Amino acid sequence: MEEKIKSLLEQVGRPYQMYNEDGTYQGCFYPVQFLYPKAKRYKLLVKNPEKNYAYGINKLKKHCKEIGVNDLQAGDIIATRFKDELHVAVYLDFGKIIHVFRNHNLQIGRLKMFKEFQSYRVI
């Protein structure tokens, strides 16, 4: 995982892209897809943030194990509601995350920027 995260950090500054070449959603899932390229990808259901939030959380729960904040390790997934949409990030270490917001570049941020979040480990 350490080498994958180093490679992901080399992508910092990469612009936001809504979709992958195959039409599946990428958006803020880019760092997750980068670390876990074999993980199932999904297409947005409708242009309804509430339904897409529930759909995304259900997919995370189906393919990952929910963990507590004290168990976070590099590569774990952080999920939160941001502006009524699902936003995901990858945990790095010492309270740092890597993520991308719509209309921004891939960046390093702080976990504390999210008031509430769930954390998941890919199984």
| d(C-alpha 83, C-alpha 35), whole Å | 25
pLDDT at 92 over 90: yes
Report which residue type is found at 19.
Answer: Y
Nearest to 6 by CA among 31, 30, 26: 31
Q: Are 76 and 90 in contact (CB under 8 A)?
A: yes
Q: What is the reported pLDDT for 119?
A: 96
Q: Average pLDDT for residues 74-81, to the nearest whole number?
A: 96
Q: What is the reported pLDDT for 106?
A: 96
| d(C-alpha 107, C-alpha 49), whole Å | 23
| d(C-alpha 52, C-alpha 60), whole Å | 12
Residues 33-57 have pLDDT tens digits of 999 998 877 766 667 767 778 888 8
Q: How many domains does the chain have?
A: 1
Domain span at 12: 2-122
User: CATH no. for residue 47?
Assistant: 3.90.1720.10
Predicted TM-score (pTM) of this structure: 0.90
Q: Are 26 and 56 in contact (CB under 8 A)?
A: no
Q: Average pLDDT for residues 12-16, to the nearest whole number?
A: 94
